[in-house]
Amino acid sequence: MTYNTPRTTTRRQQLTNGSALKIARFRRGLGVSDVVAKLETDFHLPVSAAHLRNIESGTRNASPRLLYALAQLYKAEVDHFLLMRAET
């Protein structure tokens, strides 16, 4: 029998790429529907509003293609949106 031992988490571990994406969207003054429309027209990337919200909430991960498109749309480096883990 195995037991899950509690892990000590740091602030850096708690940030997901989804929360960073959401913050970037807010800073650009864009709504979810705005981003969905721009992804479709500018990048030919059909994404539903529900899928984008799931990515931002951390329940889904963005594909590499979508991540690069969002980084371009938000005028940010892709690395900014990758999940960072603190060294333990």
Return the sign of the alpha-carbon dihedral for residues 22, 54, 31, 75. Answer: positive
Q: Is residue 87 part of a domain?
A: no
85: tokens are 């883990």
Q: Write down the pLDDT at residue 84.
A: 57
Q: Is residue 20 part of a domain?
A: yes
- Tens digit of pLDDT for each residue in 22-49? 999 999 999 999 999 999 999 999 999 9
| Total tally of structural domains belonging to the chain | 1
pLDDT at 87 over 60: no
Q: Which domain holds residue 66?
A: 11-81
CATH of residue 60: 1.10.260.40
Burial of 24 (0-12, 13-18, 19+ CB in 10 A): buried
